[in-house]
Structures are given as structure tokens and as C-alpha cells.
Amino acid sequence: MTSIPDAKAPAGEVVLEAIGLTKHFPVRRKLRDLFSHRHDVVHAVDDVDLTLRRGQVVALVGESGSGKSTIARLLAQLYPRTGGDIQLHGETTKVRGGAAFRRYCSQVQMIFQDPFASLNPTHTIRYHLTRSLKIHGNAGTTASDLAQALDDLLERVQLTPPERYLDKFPHELSGGQRQRVAIARALGAGPEALLADEPVSMLDVSIRLGVLNLLRDLRDRLDLAILYITHDIASARYFADQTMVMYAGRLVEGGDSETVTQSPAHPYTKLLIHSAPDPDRMIGGSEAEGEDAGNGEPPSLIHPPTGCRFHPRCPVAMERCRTDLPVPLQIGDVPGHWAACWLYDSDDKAEVKQ
Amino acid sequence: MSSTPVLEIRNLNVEYGLGDQAVRAVRDVNLTLHRGEVLGLAGESGSGKSTLAYGMTRLLAPPGVITGGEVIYHPEKGEAYDVLGLSDRHLQAFRWAETAIVFQGAMNSLNPVHKISTQLTDVLRAHRPEMSEAARNARAREMLKLVGIAADRMEAYPHQLSGGMRQRVMIGMALILQPQVVIMDEPTTALDVVMQRQILGQLIELRERLGFSVIFITHDLSLLVEFSNRIAIMYGGRIVEEAAAAAIYKDSLHPYSQGLLGSFPSLRGPRRELTGIPGTPPDLKGMPSGCSFHPRCPKAFEPCSTNIPVLARPDDSPRSVACWLHPVKEPVG
């Protein structure tokens, strides 16, 4: 969405940008397909534009299977892309392992969902962090440089005093502490962009906000660009500056987090917000209303629906939705708020894409 | 909703392991489930909520041991009895027919090599041996229809169904013998929010139609507030607060409940800074003295670190809390 004016003044420079990013996974062919010329693929991610700016958090919200983790892995160069482009500081990246991958990694780091699996149980915290520092050349030259760097890392993620944690093994730490170690390890590379793939969904409820607040603090102090992937749209509102909503491999709506969650435009975003737990809506209260917000399940991504991928579930689908792929359209007069939905197509509104 | 009890838990204690190594996972829990109500059980992982559910249904696997207490079940007709004292034969008859449980990750508890129809009718074959095969199939079809699955999916294998449909099958299976009590242990954690709402909405509707009671266990307090009548909040193996859902949401008394409610960012209202709860959940092996929440509690004062607060009514309203900020007027039970 490069041509869409930002909701806030574009204070941050663009760090990482995806343009028309596409990823198709091949499906194993069945015997009968050998004689036909069918090559089925899973359309995991199609034509996604995404911009990460310095000092900003962008949330990517969607159901499981919508392709949000695939985007994180594409941006981390863990998968080769099928189409489109990933630009780091405006330059196309071509990474196929080796030194190029390592250079890329030192600028773009990933935080994984499960801190119980992402740390090696046979190594201490010191080992994890030292490796990250050494590989990316941030360990300094002397032993005291390294010790200082380790202390700094742990203090940055609020694991203080550092000496209490350095020689512990992952199993001696709680989930929240482990995720902080994983964040410290990512920071050890001195990155400019962090890709956080559901960083808090495996943690206890009472400590989730602590980790989110830490990430926000890091964004401000280190001017990081953060991609926050989540299925919880309420936490996106809390934590992110921008929110993008994804459905079945495509982005369907995006804009300022407050605008997207308070006045959603796309029927899918509305469904998502309607479905989120809301304590204000007590049992038996207003439960009856709004039940036609759209039912059913996400489509198969091997043969995704033509036109808008949401049309089979959409309560307001029109004839056009079945055939034409909706383009991102400007919504209202809030700058930067767009939705890919034909409902908002009128002559006076120009397409924002292209 | 009546106020006749259907399941009463009295002073239930559950430990894992034996002797000095034992870990007390559930401590002196008193809880009453009324006929036709949805009772929410909230707490973080390790708070003992699942252990409580397994303890009261006697599904605890070794090294879990029930070390004390009673679970009084009131059948629709006849005398009340203690579930913990049932013989194996009676227990077998009691399970599923009187109390059914939908497990955590229920979508994966279906047997992948059997058709849905086989798994549904298997329950009937075991518990209703007098039923004919045609009647069993008809009943299984009826249950699928009840949970919103077309009857032609009877012959499908679990992998041919989506996660949401598998979860519905599990709920249908739990209801097939018309139990009085259905325990749901994190029934929708693995599902998307859209599916979660559909399934829970359907469950509430079924409850109104069939009149069973539900114990709904989850860590998602905001979900409980919306879907249950009464909520009990557990921390460190004890129930720390119990009240009507609206009372918990609007004016919870225990600092832990307040902290837990403050851990969920809201979709409406002003965007404000939230902090969660400082510190980490307690280790059951080394429980803090006194109130187990006191090391994390912002309002802890002098008695909290030494004396264990009892669950009691702070005033005349039908709610109870275990906190020294709200001293005892009338002990519960």
C-alpha cells in the first residue's frame, strides 16, 4: 500500500516492504493426476503488500490457516517466495542461505510462538545469547565486552539482575521469562525489524500484557519496526499502530488500528470483531441479534473461491463478488483506511492501488 | 434456572505423587453446580482447574490421588450419592450417562481410524445394550443434527471433517446419553474466534432446550463473563472468588480477579494502558505461605503472608471471596 497516505505522518522510514508477495505450496500429486496436466497448489499467500516502518507496530490479524505465519516466514526468508518482492531499505532481497542469509538475519529477526520449543533445553541462557551476539558480530573483542553485552541484553528485556538468569537452563524459567530470553536473543543480532509470530499466545493470560508492553517499550527505545502476528484482534488494537486483516491468503482490510477495530469496513473484519469475546454482551442479552454476520468456514486454498474469497460466507455478497477480485478501496475520509470489498466501490472513489 | 444443586463439591483435595514429594494441586475446594446453569471455572495454567474437573469425575490418572472431600451428585430421580464412593460398576454406569466431559483439544480425541457413526454408536452400545442397531443409528443421526452437522457426514472419518465440525461431534457425543452435567475443559481453545462463538452459542441454546448443567473451564475470562451464569476463579489450587458473572465483571473483590480482568485488552471503550499481573504464577511445589497470591498482589498487607484467607461471604449477597481485604462474616458450607 505504498501509495496510500499514512494515517500518521510517515515519521518512520520504511525498513521492510513486501510488494505483491505470493507463496504457493505444491500439493503432492495423486496417481490419477500424473496423466493430466494438473499441478495443484495451496494458495497460502496471494498478492500481499505490507510496509514495516521504523518505530511502528503493524499487526496482522487472521484465523489459523489464513497465511499470516507464512508471511512472517517469507519475510524472514525461511521460505523462498513464489512471486512478488521483499525489499529491505528499498532494495530487492535475494537470499539463498549462506552469508547473504546471515546478513539479512542481522537486520530482520523473528520471535516464535512457543518459547518452550524455541530455546534449546540443553544449553544455558548465556549460551543462547552469546551465540546470537557472536554470529552477528556484536560480541565485541574481549571477554568483558561480551559480559557487558549479555548484561545489556537481559536488562533490555527486564530480566534483572542478569546474573540470576545467565546460567539458568530454559526449564528453570517460566514461559514469560523464556519468551523474554527469546526476545533478547533476537535483539542480540541488533535487528531493525522484528517479526513476532503470535509471541504471547502460548503464555499465561496474566503475563501476556507484560510481554506486549515490553515489545512496545523496545519499539520506542530502539526504534524497531515490528510485525505482530495474532489471531486476537483486541490485542492488535491494544498494541499495534496499524492493523491488517487477512482472510484466506489475502489482505482484506488495513489501516490505523483504532479505525479498523472501531469502524470496520470489510464484512469479514466485522464478523471477526463480532465474534471476539465481549464481556459487555452478557448471556441472554443481545445474543440474538447480529447472528447473520456470516457463518461457515474458511475455504479450501487449493481451489479458492473466484472473485472475493469471502463471498461464500458473506451476508452481503453481490453478483460481482463471485467473479471479480476486489481491489483495495479507500474507506471514508480516514487516510490510510482501506478495504478490498466491492461494497465500497463507487465512481467518485478512486482505486487506491496502482 | 432453579437453585437446586446437581453437583456439590465439598472440601475436595487432590495431590500428585505421594508422601513428601506430593504436590497439592487442588486444595479444599467447595463448589456447587445448580441445575441448568453454566458455571465458569477460570484460572491460569497450573491453577488446578483441569485437575478439579478430573478429580470430581474420578478421571485422574496416577500419580493423581484424591486425598479428601466429597462430590455429591443429585440424580434427577432418587437419592443423592457421593461419586467418590462409587464402586467400579456403578462408576461405569455413572460416567457419560450422568456426567459427560469434553476434553481439552477435543478435536483430536476422536479415533482417526473409525467412522463418526461407529464412534457415536459405540457409546450407546456400551450404555444402552437393549437398543437395536437401527435405533442406535437413528439416535446418532439425531445428535449430529442437533449440533448442526448434516446426517450424511455419519460415514465420514474424522480427518474428513474440519476442526469445528470435529468439536461439534465431540459435543454431540457428550450429550448422546442426555447427561445432567457436562464438563467442558477448554473446549474451544484450538478454534478460531468465529467458530468458537458459533459452537458456544449453539451449546447455550442446547442447554436451554435440554436442561443440562455445564461446567465451563477456560483461561479466557472475558469469554466466561459472556457465556456463563456464575464464575469461580482459581489460583494456586484454591477458589479465590465466586460470584455471578456480572458481579465478577463489574465489581470483582479479589485483587487476582481484578488483575485477570485487566489482562484482556478491550475492543471497545477508550484504549488504555494495561499492565497484566506482575510476577509469575506460583509453583505448586513451593507455594507461598498465607494467601498464595500475596507475592504478586498490589494490595497485600500484613496478614496475607502468614494466614490463609478462607472463602467466605463478605456481605449478604450470594457471592464469596477469599481475601483478607474482605473479612469473613459468614463461612460458606
Q: Give the pLDDT confidence of B94-138 residue by residue, as tens digits.
A: 999 999 999 877 667 899 999 999 999 999 999 999 999 999 999
Give the closest of B192, B227, B267 to A261, CB-based.
Answer: B267
Is residue B283's pLDDT more than 50?
yes
* Secondary structure class of B17 (helix, strand, coil): coil
Q: Name the percent of chain A lying above pLDDT 70.
A: 89
Give yes or no for a contact between A308 and A314, defined as CB atoms under 8 angstroms apart. yes
**C-alpha cell recorded at residue A27:** 500439493
Give mean pLDDT, residues B279-293.
86
Average pLDDT of every residue of chain B: 88
Higher pLDDT, B275 or B297: B297
Determine the residue of chain B that is closest to A294 in CA distance.
B194
* Residue B233 CB partners (closer than 8 Å, separation 6+): B42, B43, B221, B239, B240, B241, B242, B248, B254, B256, B257, B260
Find cell 457409546 and name the residue.
B123
Residue A77 sits at the chain B interface (C-beta within 8 Å): no
Label residue A126 exposed, middle or buried (CB < 10 Å: 0-12, 13-18, 19+). Answer: middle
> Which amino acid, residue A6?
D
Mean pLDDT of A67-79: 92
Higher pLDDT, B194 or B238: B238
- pLDDT band of residue B2 (cuts 50, 70, 90) is low
- Span(s) in chain B for CATH 3.40.50.300: 5-98+179-295
8 Å CB contact of A275 and B275: no
What's the rounded mean pLDDT across residues B17-34? 88
Query: Residue B331: is its pLDDT beyond 70?
Result: no
Q: Tell whether the model's pLDDT for residue B186 goes beyond 50.
A: yes
* Mean pLDDT on A62-73: 89
Tell me if B193 and A237 make a contact (CB, 8 A cut-off).
no
Q: Does A300 touch chain B (CB under 8 A)?
A: no
Nearest-CA residue of chain A relative to B47?
Answer: A204
d(CA B228, nearest CA chain A) in Å? 7
Residue B72, pLDDT score: 94
Mutate to test the interface with B, among A57, A114, A116, A204 (most CBs of B within 10 A): A204
List the single range of A5-14, A61-70, B170-179 with lowest mean pLDDT: A5-14
**What is residue B45's predicted lDDT score, i.e. its pLDDT?**
82
Identify residue B39 by its one-letter amino acid code: L
Q: What is the per-residue DSSP string for B251-275?
A: ---SHHHHHHHTTS--SSS------
**Per-residue pLDDT at B22:** 86
Predicted local confidence at residue A289, as pLDDT: 42
Nearest Cα residue in chain B from A173:
B280
Grid coordinates standing for B153?
Answer: 457426514
* Coil, helix or strand at residue B6: strand
- Judged against a pLDDT cut of 80, whether residue A284 lies above it is answered with no
- Lowest average pLDDT, out of A135-139, A151-155, B1-5, B60-64, goes to B1-5
| Sheet with A242-247, edge to edge strand ranges | A108-111, A193-197, A225-230, A57-61, A242-247, A250-256, A338-339, A329-330
| CB nearest B274 (choices: A64, A238, A274) | A238
pLDDT (0 to 100) of residue A8: 40
Q: Does A280 touch chain B (CB under 8 A)?
A: yes
Output the CA torsion sign for B246, B251, B257, B260. positive
Residue B228 above 80 pLDDT?
Answer: yes
Q: Does A282 touch chain B (CB under 8 A)?
A: yes
Specify the pLDDT at position A33: 67
Distance, CA of B24 to CA of B236 (rounded, Å) = 9
pLDDT of residue A1: 39
**B229 vs A contacts (CB less than 8 Å):** 283
> For residue B329, is pLDDT > 80?
no
In Å, how far is B196's CA from the nearest CA of chain A?
8
- Kindly identify which residue of chain B lies nearest to residue A214, measuring between CA atoms: B275
Cβ of A258 within 8 Å of Cβ of B271? The answer is yes
Q: Which residues in chain A are closer than 8 Å to B107, comparing Cβ atoms?
A: none
Whether pLDDT at A3 is above 60: no
**Model pLDDT, residue A287:** 43
Contact flag B249-A279 (C-beta cutoff 8 Å): yes
Among chain A residues, CA nearest to B225: A279
CA proximity to A206, closest of B14, B6, B240, B33: B240
**A233: nearest CA in chain B?**
B267
The C-alpha cell of A307 is what? 472473485
**Does B280 contact A207 at a Cβ distance shorter than 8 Å?**
yes
Q: Quickly count: other Cβ atoms within 10 Å of residue A296's Cβ.
A: 12
Of A204, A283, A295, the CB nearest to B45: A204
Closest Cα to residue A191, out of A217, A151, A218? Answer: A218
Hey, which residues does B100 pair with through a beta bridge? B182
In this prediction, residues B31-50 reach a mean pLDDT of 90
The stretch A260-277 carries a mean pLDDT of: 91
pLDDT value for B29:
93
Whether A282 sits inside 8 A of B246 (CB atoms) is: yes
A178-231 confidence digits (pLDDT tens): 999 999 999 999 999 999 999 998 888 888 999 999 999 999 999 999 999 999
Decide if domain B5-98+179-295 falls under CATH 3.40.50.300.
yes
Which amino acid is present at B259?
G
- Which residue of A64, A208, A281 is in closest CB contact with B226? A281
Helix crossing, A175-187 with A143-156: angle to 10°? 130
Per-residue CA distances from A292 to A136, A274, A316, B238 (Å) = 53, 11, 10, 41
Do the Cβ atoms of A248 and A301 come closer than 8 Å? yes
A294 pLDDT tier (thresholds 50, 70, 90): low
Q: Which residue of B has its CA nearest to A176?
A: B280
Q: To which residue does cell 510485525 refer? A: A227
Nearest CA among A95, A96, A81 for reference residue A20: A81
Domains of chain A: 1-28+39-107+191-277+292-354 (3.40.50.300), 125-188 (no CATH)
More confident residue, A329 or A33: A329
Tell me the three cell numbers of residue B6.
Answer: 446437581
- Answer yes or no: are the C-beta atoms of A58 and A226 closer than 8 Å: yes
Give the residues across from A59 on adjacent strands.
A228, A243
- pLDDT classification of B280: cutoffs 50, 70, 90: confident
Please report the pLDDT score of residue B106 as a whole number.
Answer: 64
Report the relative pairing of strands B5-16 and A338-339 from DSSP bridges. Answer: unpaired
On chain B, the residues whose CB falls within 8 A of the CB of A278 are 222, 226, 267-268
Q: Is the pLDDT of residue B73 over 90?
A: yes
Q: Identify the three-state secondary structure at position A60.
A: strand
Query: Is the Cβ of A239 closer than 8 Å to some Cβ of chain B?
Result: yes
Chain B residues within 8 angstroms (CB to CB) of chain A: 38, 44-45, 162, 164, 192-198, 201, 204, 219-223, 225-229, 245-246, 249, 259-261, 263-268, 271, 274-278, 280-281
A6-30 pLDDT, tens digit each = 444 345 789 999 999 999 998 877 7
Predicted confidence (pLDDT) at residue A130 exceeds the cutoff of 60: yes
Strand intervals (E) in chain A: 14-26, 41-53, 57-61, 83-88, 91-92, 108-111, 193-197, 225-230, 242-247, 250-256, 329-330, 338-339
What one-character DSSP code corresponds to residue B95? B
